[in-house]
Structure 1
Amino acid sequence: MTKTNSIIFYFIVVLELILTEIQLSDGSELIIRRPRANLTHVPKDLPLATTTLDISQNNISVLQASDIILLLKLRVLMMSYNRLQCLDIGVFKFNPELEYLDLSHNELRVISCHSTANFKHLDLSFNAFDALPICKEFGDMSQLEFLGLSGTKLQNSSVQPIAHLNMSKVLLVLGDTYGEKEDPGSLQHISTRILHIVFPVKREFNFILDVSVSTVVNLELSNIKCVVEDSEASYFLRALSKLGKNERLSNLTLNNVETTWNSFMGILQCVWHTPVKYFSISNMKLQGELEPRDFNYSDTSLKALSIYQVVSNAFSLSQNYLYSIFSNMNIQNFTVSGTRMLHMLCPSQVSPFQHLDFTDNLLTDLVFKDCRNLIELKTLILQKNQLKKLENTILMSAEMTSLQELDISQNSLSYGGGGSLCSWTQSLLVLNLSSNMLTDSVFRCLPPKVKVLDLHNNRIMSIPKDVTHLQALQELNVASNSLTDLPGCGAFSSLSVLVIEHNLVSHPSADFFQSCQKIRSITAGNNPFQCTCELREFVKNMGQVSGEVVEGWPDLYTCDSPASARGTPLQDFHMSPLSCNTVLLIVTIGVTLLVLAAIVAFLCLCFDLPWYLRMVFQWTQTRHRARNTPVEELQRDFQFHAFVSYSGHDSAWVKNELLPNLEKDGIRVCLHERNFVPGKSIVENIIHFIEKSYKSIFVLSPHFIQSEWCHYELCFAHHNLFHEGSDNLILILLEPIPQYSIPSNYHKLKTLMARRTYLEWPTEKSKHGLFWANLRAAINVKLVNQAEAMCHIQR
């Protein structure tokens, strides 16, 4: 083993040790499981509250009292498949609650007994004992229900200690050397309802053991080998013939049988005349030829015969004889499974068969063709055979007037859809057509009174509109097909159970629960649900009934698309009604726009919103230009922040409003009546102080356009705007000026008012604050030369 593999193995073992320690929710049971952990001794770290300990399939060779002395609550101990060679039952004297002990499949040879009266299950089978390991103390186990023993010697004396116990089951495993000192009647002292005897493997059956224990109801015999018809077969047949003495015997089971065809028929005939009601044979190997002989069907108690897993090496076999023997049996239940049987004949007369099971054979469409003698048959199972055409099966069933259950699953059935061949028996109630090659057409021909219909794992893509109306159908299984929607209940008015998982259902019908009022169980998980608006109503309906009706909800119901929602449980998928209703969305958007328009209109009418917006825009533009103007430009040798040009008629507003609101923040304003230099001409003063001012403010009004000097100042400032490349003009519209009232020689004023944004003086006092904020933002700059400039020339 490589180092990597060793690490992986160690990790798996550790993980298993962790995961197998289970504490039940109510705290009453503490189960420790450590099988296949490569243990060589009982673990020392077991919790004291352990009630069940499973340490089977390890390498433990010694069990001592100190290993389990502290486990006072231990009730179950499983140590099968270890290497124990000796056992002292006294080690369990400190475990008063121990009632289940499994020490099978060890190497035990010696056992020491002590008084232990609490065992209900004691398994010492498949060990190396010579004589049966029955101590006299076993007689005190009044509660013993199961006893497993093994040994090579059976004697009356060894069984006597437990003769008075009434056990449910005894398992007796005989060693390879059994038979040398055989006591034929040793088992007659055992009192049990179920007896299972395992004979030595690969040993011919030449024993004279009497297996007809009077108290046994169920008898099971394993490892029967009698291939020589004149010796071993006679031994075994004599043993079976003695079963007639036990009137209580009801069930007989033979496992791992190796014999000849003739001996097999002899065994069958022998059991036929015993009290056995239910006879089962499994794992049988047959060889040799089959010689036809009469079979006596009279005087039998047999009700059911089951034959499982038969292998034959016969190259030539009279099959018709064999099929004839089987078909004419006067019993109710007959099962032949895993035998590679090719055919089955129709009974020669009306048959009492009520249950026929031919699972896992090679039967074809010819089976029971034109058979009219199975009128008592209620259940027919033809699962895993070679059936091809459903039409042939329909014709076969038409003659079975009492047939209620038909299982023809796991074949290769197809249906052509011919309406004339749709003649199912009217009595059929349960039909299993799963795992075939059936398509949508099968819904056009189904038994009219069927209640349970299984069509899972076929090739069905949709349920056609002209489906057979099945008014009695209660359960429908169409899982693992290619259906894209849930079937409505128009044709299935009584449907109560629907299984439709593992299909292609992406947009299930939202009205399913409305159309299927009687539905009480639906399994629709593991489908590629597309989580869009169409699914909202279905999810809503699922959520309302999920606790009672929807199986697997919510774990098996997840979104498959869109990709952003893949894996999201349907119960967590939500979409607003607005996004899923186009009309509602359009109406909502329209109403919202109308409300916004009404709000804007109200603001415009009541609060003059356009004026506020225009002023905010101007303030923003001014701040933007100030940030983009070079510092050197802003800090030029200006003396004034602003040169104000206005008409004398507006001087009151300038002196009472403009100057106080600007100069209180340190803004220096140049006015002609106080700052022009005496002795200079008016033109020189205008040019000089416009150049020494950062901005030129023009207070516009109807009086302004009547002043010649105002016109001159405007022209010079406009010339300076283009010459300097600066943005030094601020227009304040004190009063409205109609365009028609502006003289033609004031073309520069018209141009400026058309191209430049001007500030309007609001009449409402509430708007004055925003007006002054805009004006201050436009002219506020730090001047380098703080000297005052004075001029006193009056205009």
Structure 2
Amino acid sequence: MAGRKVSDANNFLSICVLMTTLWNVTHTSTEHEFIANYSKGSLPTVPKHLSEQTRVLDLSDNSISELKTSDFRSLSNLQVLTLSYNSIRELDFSVFQYNEALEHLDVSHNKLQKISGLPVKSLKHLDLSYNDFITVPLFPKSGKTLKLNYFALSIRSISSVSALLDLELDTLFLDLEYLSEYSPGSLLVFSAKTVRIVAPKNTNLHIFLDLQFSGTESLEFSRISLEQVEDLEMFLSKLNKKSTLQNLTVVDIKFTWENLLNVFEAVGRSSINNLTILYPTITEFQDKYFDADLSLKSFAIKRAQLNTVEFNQSIVYSTFSNLNTEALTISDSGILYMYCPVRPSRFKYLCFQNNTLTDTTFKDCHHLAMLETLILQKNRLEDLSEVSLMTRSMKSLNYMDVSQNRLQYKESGNKCDWDGNIIKLNLSSNKLTESVFRCLPNNIQILDLQSNQISTVPKEIIDLIALEELNLASNKLNAFPGCSHFRNLQVLNIEYNFVLDQFSEFSQTCQSIQKLKGRHNPFRCNCELREFLNLPKRSVELVGWPDFYMCEYPYDLRGTLLKDFHISELDCNVTLIIAVVLVVALVILATVTFLCIHFDIPWYFKMIWRWSQVKHRIWKTKSEEILENTQYHAFISYSEHDSDWVKNELIPNLEKEEGSLRLCQHERNFIAGKSIVENIIDCIEKSYKSIFVLSPNFVQSEWCHYELYFAHHKLFTENADGLILILLEPIPAYTIPARYYKLKALMDKRTYLEWPKEKRKHAFFWTNLRAALQIKLPYIEEMKELGSAWMGKNLLSV
């Protein structure tokens, strides 16, 4: 397991270089770029007919043993070629003579013993490590210095490394793990800016004593055994403040606690500013404090293991907490506690990631006034209020990371008391609920609450006026949060929540939003969502739009992209709907009113109503109740001035059909010898109804007054509805004499028929009038029978 970790560390830089190259290739190439991956295909040779546009070709983990010029002749655009983990024994760089764009070549983990030819001028990364080279391979002399960003080599014998000085390198990786031949006293001089050396397994080869560096800034040693630690200490002790070395990294080293303190002391006297120890194993512990001066910019120890039972935690914690360095990292080492410095500290950066620290760490610590960054990620912190109290004396603290803990905030516990200068806080991956918004630094600008248990943003929280970026992804939000308490919010992340709708508050209060991350949420596609769809028009960047924004509800729209969801303004605006309904109603009412006025429809309705009333009364009237001596359907009373209308319109239309209606008119039906009054009374008594043709002339006629009086008298004596009033012409009320009080009463209480001036209404008028008079008269029927019998008798006598 340890060997694998060291191998990963040794290849870390080459992987970074490879990824950088791939990034540059894939992001600067044209639209015809092409990546061909043939790894792990058991290929014995390079595949034929590769695309000429191929830029990245991966042939790793195959069985290729030989390379030919024809294999790559057509690949003029090739930039990255990986041939690691094959069986190649010889490499002639001339096979790449047609690949003038080649920048990255990895031939590691093969069986190379010999190389020949010169690499193409464009080559920047060459990995020849983990092959079968005995000594440093020589490149042919060309008169020009070969420049490479990265060069990796594994050798088994060192007689001279002068050949490496002919190369101008940024990074040199030299694997000496299987070094078997070495002449002590030979100077091993390296000039690359970064040198990474894997120490020999053979501890009798003391190469550290002969190492020298010219212009090297970063140095990394790997796989240093306990027996080689003293050689490393001696190498470091030879360094002075004038050395160019700035960064020292030691990977997979075994040492005692005393060895570590000696390394600290040697580094403190050198030019090294940054010391990193990865995968260390402490084999023995001595009760010894570090009291020398170690002035560093940064010190990091990661994944430390302790292979001893005796271990004084107090010595370890006090040693690390009182180091004279600006940045301290102790991660993945299981430390339980960390002491507060005994004097004002230079610490600006502290990282204790992935340990077992609790809430009591740095409690009442007054010597971290210069601390700017504190990272306590992946520990055992549980109480957010206790964490806030931790920062009270950290006056310079502006960034704190307490993510991936077990933090909760209970309002019944201690009150939160954050340092007022914290502007960036990471609380992600904890157990926090919406109560966390009552326990936050006032001046926070960037807040990460991802992966908690927050379901809403409460209405009553502290005002976070300075907050610019808020991450609420992977929580339990069921509505868009508002920004009433953080009005300057510019970036909001609500991805992977239960967000459905309720967008109105967000739209009204989050006016400063510039970027919104809302992917992978179950959106409810309704009216409120229309405002959300208008965000791009407000210059708000929707990250992942439109492919990751889909409707979840209603079910018939599930899977529909929000950009394809459309709903009209009329369906959503209640005020507009009411306005439209009112406008339509007014238009219809105006149209109906116009049609009624134009076609006089109310008159037709009034006449139909009267006709139906007459029919109803006729139906209720029994024929046997009509007097036996009734001879006429109606008696007509009118003024002589209206006689033309009566003779030319009224009588012809009512008596136009034979045997239809029988009218009593004084000119033709009054009996000679009787007085006028007797004739009037006689006609009214023998008529089913009385028709009065009303006009201004009518009220001026004395006889009309008598006729109306007698008819009105019959109305009350017989309790019948025998009056029909026809208004031939309008009669102003002031023209009716006082003695015509009965006429006034009748016109006020009884309905009357108006003679229409339009000819198209005449037919309807006569229909209604005939319906009011239509009834079988017994007297008429008897006369018809007598007439038929008399005619039959005469016919027989003939």
**Which residue of structure 1 aligns with residue 684 of structure 2?**
none
- Residue 256 of structure 1 aligns to a residue whose secondary structure is strand
Partner of 1:696: none
Task: Note the alpha carbon deviations across 1:675-710, whole angstroms, 9 max, x for none.
Answer: xxxxxxxxxxxxxxxxxxxxxxxxx99655639xxx
- Tell me by how many angstroms 1:559 deviates: 1.9
Call closer, same or farther: CA 1:23–1:430 in 2, change over 3 Å.
closer
Name the larger-Rg structure.
Answer: 2
User: Are residues 1:34 and 2:38 paired?
Assistant: yes
- Code of the aligned partner of 2:216: V
The question of whether the paired residues in 2 share the 8 Å contact of 1:115 and 1:137 is answered with no
Aligned with 1:739 (options 761, 771, 783): 771
2:247 is the counterpart of 1:251: yes
CA distance in 2, matches of 1:224, 1:312: 16
1:591-618 superposed Cα distances (whole Å, 9 cap, x missing partner): 54665576577778878999xxxxxxxx
Partners in 1 of 2:314 and 2:26 — Cα distance? 58
Q: 2:522 aligns with which of 512, 524, 528?
A: 528
Give the secondary-structure state (helix, strand or coil) at the position aligned to 1:134. coil
Change (3 A) 1:588 1:28: closer
Partner SS for 1:332? strand
Aligned to 1:425: 419
The answer on whether the counterparts of 1:248 and 1:275 sit within 8 Å (CA) in structure 2 is yes
Contact 1:253–1:281 under 8 Å retained in 2: yes
Tell me the equivalent position of 2:197. 197
Residue type matched to 1:267 in 2? Answer: V
C-alpha distance in 1 between matches for 2:241 and 2:592: 109
SS of 2:325's equivalent in the other structure is coil
| CA distance 1:423–1:301, shift in 2 (3 Å) | closer
Question: Distance in 2 between the 1:70 and 1:203 partners?
Answer: 46
Query: Which structure 2 residue ranges, 5 or more long, are not aligned?
Result: 1-24, 603-652, 661-763, 779-798
Q: Cα offset for 1:116?
A: 5.3
TM-score of the pair, normalised by structure 1? 0.69
Number of residue pairs aligned between Structure 1 and Structure 2: 605
Which of 536, 552, 569 does residue 544 from structure 2 map onto? 552
Q: Judging changes above 3 Å, is the alpha-carbon distance between structure 1 residues 588 and 474 closer, same or farther for their aligned structure 2 residues? A: closer
| Residue identity matched to 2:550 | T
Structure 2 residue 562 is matched with structure 1 residue 565: no
- Answer whether contact 2:56 2:79 (CA < 8 A) is retained: yes
SS of the residue corresponding to residue 349 of structure 1 reads coil
> In the alignment, is the contact (CA less than 8 A) between 2:85 and 2:109 conserved in 1?
yes
Specify the alignment match of 1:165 in structure 2: 167
Alpha-carbon distance between aligned partners in 1 of 2:527 and 2:601, rounded to the nearest angstrom: 42
Instruction: Identify the residue that residue 108 of structure 2 maps to in structure 1.
Output: 104
Distance in 1 between residues matched to 2:214 and 2:176, nearest whole Å: 20
Structure 1 gaps of 5+ residues are 1-20, 611-699, 708-732, 747-795
Q: Give the alignment partner of residue 322 of structure 2, picking from 322, 328, 348.
A: 328
Q: Could you say which residue in structure 2 is the equivalent of 1:220?
A: 220
Which residue does 1:749 correspond to in 2? Answer: none
Match of 2:442 in 1: 448
Aligned amino acid, residue 488 of structure 2 = S
**Contact between 2:145 and 2:168, CA under 8 Å: does it hold in 1?**
no
* Offset, 1:383: 0.6
Instruction: Give the conservation status (yes or no) of the 8 Å contact 1:22–1:32.
Output: no
**1:270-311 deviation line (CA, Å, top 9, x unaligned):** 333321111111122333x3102242432x452100111122
Distance in 1 (CA, whole Å) between partners of 2:184 and 2:135 is: 12
**Per-residue CA distance 1:130-171 (angstroms, 9 max, x = gap):** 112223448744333322211111122xx3344243311111
Identity of aligned residues (%): 39
The residue aligned with 2:410 is 416
Q: Secondary structure at the match of 1:387?
A: coil
Contact 1:531–1:562 (Cα < 8 Å) also in 2:
yes
The code of the aligned residue for 1:466 comes to: E
1:363 aligns with 2:395: no
Q: Is the 8 A contact 1:508 1:538 kept in 2?
A: no
Cα contact 1:72–1:95 (8 A) shared by 2 = yes
Q: Residue in 1 aligned with 2:458?
A: 464
For the Cα contact (< 8 Å) 1:297–1:330, is it kept in 2?
A: no
Determine the structure 2 residue equivalent to 1:151.
155
Q: Give SS of 1:269's match.
A: helix
Deviation at 1:66, TM superposition (A): 2.2
Which of 509, 519, 522 does residue 513 from structure 2 map onto? 519
With over 3 angstroms needed to count, the CA separation of the structure-2 counterparts of 1:420 and 1:702, relative to structure 1, is same
CA distance in 1, matches of 2:391, 2:304: 28
What root-mean-square deviation, in Å, do the aligned CA atoms of Structure 1 and Structure 2 show?
A: 3.5
> Deviation at 1:234?
1.9
> Quick check: 1:346 aligned with 2:346?
no
CA–CA separation in structure 2 for the residues paired with 1:548 and 1:212: 57
Alignment-mate amino acid for residue 188 of structure 2: L
- Using a 3 Å threshold, how does the CA distance of structure 1 residues 472 and 118 change in structure 2: closer, same or farther? closer
Q: Superposed, which structure 2 residues align to 1:114-153 within 5 Å?
A: 117-137=121-141, 140-153=144-157
SS in 2 for 1:375: coil
Give the structure-2-normalised TM-score.
Answer: 0.69
Q: Give the Cα–Cα distance (whole angstroms) in 2 for the partners of residues 495 and 99 of structure 1.
A: 45
Secondary structure of 1:453's match?
A: strand
- Tell me, yes or no, if the aligned pair for 2:301 and 2:331 is still in contact at 8 Å: yes
Deviations, residues 394-442 of structure 1 (Å, cap 9, x unaligned): 2211021221111111111111225863221122222111211222222
Partners in 2 of 1:607 and 1:548 — Cα distance?
Answer: 60
Shift of 1:589: 4.2
Do 1:450 and 1:472's aligned partners in 2 also have CA atoms closer than 8 Å? yes
Q: Does 1:706 align with 2:659?
A: yes
**1:180 equivalent in alignment to 2:181:** yes
Alpha-carbon displacement from aligned partner over 1:84-136 (angstroms, at most 9, x marks no partner): 12222332334444343221121212323457555332221111111122234
> Contact 2:507–2:531 (CA<8 Å) still a contact in 1?
no
Could you say which residue in structure 2 is the equivalent of 1:270?
A: 266
Is 1:81 aligned with 2:85? yes
Partners of 2:357 and 2:26 in 1: CA distance: 48
1:481, 1:512 → 2: CA distance?
17
Deviations 1:350-388 (A, max 9, x none): 111111000000011121122111111111111100111
Distance in 2 separating the partners of 1:75 and 1:567: 42
Q: Secondary structure at the match of 1:87?
A: strand
Q: Which amino acid aligns with 2:51?
A: P
How many Å separate the matches in 2 of 1:114 and 1:586? 84
Provide the residue aligned with 1:208 in structure 2.
207
The answer to whether structure 1 residue 284 and structure 2 residue 255 are counterparts is: no
From 485, 491, 509, give the equivalent of 1:491: 485
Cα distance, 1:414–1:420 mapped onto 2, change above 3 Å: closer
Q: Contact between 1:276 and 1:301, CA under 8 Å: does it hold in 2?
A: no
Aligned to 1:630: none
The 1:216–1:573 alpha-carbon spacing in structure 2 relative to 1, beyond 3 Å, is same
Q: How far, CA to CA, are the matches of 2:27 and 2:434 in structure 1?
A: 51
On the 8 A contact 1:69/1:94 being kept in 2, the answer is yes
Partners of 1:439 and 1:459 within 8 A in 2: yes
Distance 1:124-1:506 versus aligned 2 partners, 3 A rule: same
Partner Cα separation in structure 1 for residue 267 and residue 26 of structure 2: 48
Cα distance in structure 1, aligned partners of 2:565 and 2:32: 41
Partner of 1:293: 288
CA distance in 1 between partners of 2:103 and 2:85 (Å): 20
Counterpart of 1:240 in structure 2 is 236
Aligned to 1:588: 580
- Structure 2 Cα separation of the partners of residues 170 and 366 of structure 1: 45
Helix, strand or coil at the partner of 1:334: strand
Worse overlay, 112-121 or 519-528: 112-121
Aligned to 2:690: none
Q: CA–CA distance in 1 between the matches of 2:26 and 2:416?
A: 56
Indicate the SS of the match to 1:489: coil
